[in-house]
Amino acid sequence: MSDQRPILTTRQGHPVRDNQSLRTVGERGPATLENYQFIEKITHFDRERIPERVVHARGAGAHGYFEAYGKIGDEPASKYTRARVLNETGVKTPMFVRFSTVAGAKESPETERDPRGFAVKFKTVDGNWDLVGNNLKVFFIRDAIKFPDMIHAFKPDPVTNRQEAWRFFDFVAQHPEAIHMVTWLKSPWGIPANYREMEGSGVNTYKLVNDQGVAHLCKFHWIPKQGVRNLTSAQASEIQAKDVGHATRDLYDNISAGNFPEWEFAVQIMPDGPNDHLSFDPLDDTKRWPEDQFPLLKCGRMVLDRVPDNFFAEVEQSAFGTGVLVDGIDFSDDKMLQGRTLSYSDTQRYRVGPNYLQLPINAPQPGVKVYSNQRDGQMTYGVDGTGPNRHINYEPSTLAEGLREAPKTTEYHQPVEGKLGRFQTSRTEDDYTQAGNRYRSFEDWEREDLIANLVGDMKQCPEPIQLRMVWHFWHADEDYGRRVAEGAGIDLEKAKALPPLPGRAAPHKRLEAETYTDGTRAHKVAAE
Provide the annotated active-site residues: 56, 134
* Among 81, 248, 348, 434, interactor with ligand HEM by CB under 6 A: 348
**Number of neighbouring beta carbons within 10 Å of residue 487:** 15
Q: Are strands 297-306 and 215-224 parallel, antiparallel or unpaired?
A: unpaired
Cα of first residue to Cα of last residue in the chain, in angstroms, is: 80
Question: CB under 6 A: which stretch of 163-171, 343-351, 361-369, 392-400 binds ligand HEM?
Answer: 343-351
Instruction: Examine residue 23 and tell whether it contacts ligand HEM (CB under 6 A).
Output: no
**439 to 55, 146, 474, 480, 517: CA distances (angstroms):** 28, 26, 11, 7, 14
Shortest Cβ 205–ligand HEM spacing (Å): 11
Binding mask 377-396 for ligand HEM (x = CB under 6 A): --------------------
Residue 195 annotated as lining a ligand binding site? no
* Among 132, 215, 283, 484, interactor with ligand HEM by CB under 6 A: 132
Instruction: Examine residue 144 and tell whether it contacts ligand HEM (CB under 6 A).
Output: yes
Instruction: Examine residue 219 and tell whether it contacts ligand HEM (CB under 6 A).
Output: no
- Evaluated on CA atoms 337, 338, 343, 344, the torsion sign reads positive
* Among 203, 251, 307, 435, interactor with ligand HEM by CB under 6 A: 203
Shortest Cβ 244–ligand HEM spacing (Å): 18
User: Distance between CA atoms of 458 and 157, rounded to whole angstroms?
Assistant: 18
Phi, psi angles (nearest 5°) of residue 220: -105, 145
Which helix (H) or strand (E) segment holds residue 275: the answer is none
Q: Please provide the DSSP assignment of 443-456 as one string.
A: -HHHHHHHHHHHHH
Shortest Cβ 527–ligand HEM spacing (Å): 29
Shortest Cβ 54–ligand HEM spacing (Å): 5
Shortest Cβ 207–ligand HEM spacing (Å): 17
User: Distance between CA atoms of 356 and 319, rounded to whole angstroms?
Assistant: 8
Instruction: Examine residue 351 and tell whether it contacts ligand HEM (CB under 6 A).
Output: yes
* Among 147, 166, 260, 331, interactor with ligand HEM by CB under 6 A: 147
Q: What is the DSSP letter of 464?
A: H
- Evaluated on CA atoms 181, 186, 187, 190, the torsion sign reads positive
Instruction: Examine residue 139 and tell whether it contacts ligand HEM (CB under 6 A).
Output: yes
H helix intervals, 317-426: 335-351
Tell me whether residue 364 or residue 456 sits nearer to ligand HEM (CB atom): 364
Q: How many residues bind ligand HEM (CB under 6 A)?
A: 27
Instruction: Examine residue 336 and tell whether it contacts ligand HEM (CB under 6 A).
Output: yes
Instruction: Examine residue 221 and tell whether it contacts ligand HEM (CB under 6 A).
Output: no
- Evaluated on CA atoms 71, 69, 207, 197, the torsion sign reads positive
| CB-based closest residue to ligand HEM | 117
Shortest Cβ 334–ligand HEM spacing (Å): 9
**429 to 176, 222, 425, 508: CA distances (angstroms):** 9, 29, 8, 7
Helix 463-476 crosses helix 478-488 at what angle (to 10 degrees)? 150
* Among 94, 295, 339, 354, interactor with ligand HEM by CB under 6 A: 339
Which residues does residue 525 pair with via DSSP β-bridges, in sequence order? 514
Shortest Cβ 320–ligand HEM spacing (Å): 5
* Among 37, 55, 195, 251, interactor with ligand HEM by CB under 6 A: 55
Cα 392 to chain center, whole Å?
A: 39
Instruction: Examine residue 349 and tell whether it contacts ligand HEM (CB under 6 A).
Output: no
Q: What is the DSSP letter of 53?
A: P
Instruction: Examine residue 54 and tell whether it contacts ligand HEM (CB under 6 A).
Output: yes
Instruction: Examine residue 193 and tell whether it contacts ligand HEM (CB under 6 A).
Output: no
Question: CB under 6 A: which stretch of 54-62, 243-251, 303-311, 366-374 binds ligand HEM?
Answer: 54-62
Q: Write the CB contacts of 419 (distance below 8 Å, at least 6 apart in sequence).
A: none
Instruction: Examine residue 108 and tell whether it contacts ligand HEM (CB under 6 A).
Output: no
Burial 278-299 (b: 16+ CB within 10 A, else e): eebbbbbbbbbbbbeebbbbbb
Cα 99 to chain center, whole Å?
A: 8
Annotated binding residues for heme: 344
Residues that bind ligand HEM (CB under 6 A): 53-56, 59, 98, 100, 117, 119, 132-134, 139, 144, 147, 203, 318-320, 336, 339-340, 343-344, 347-348, 351
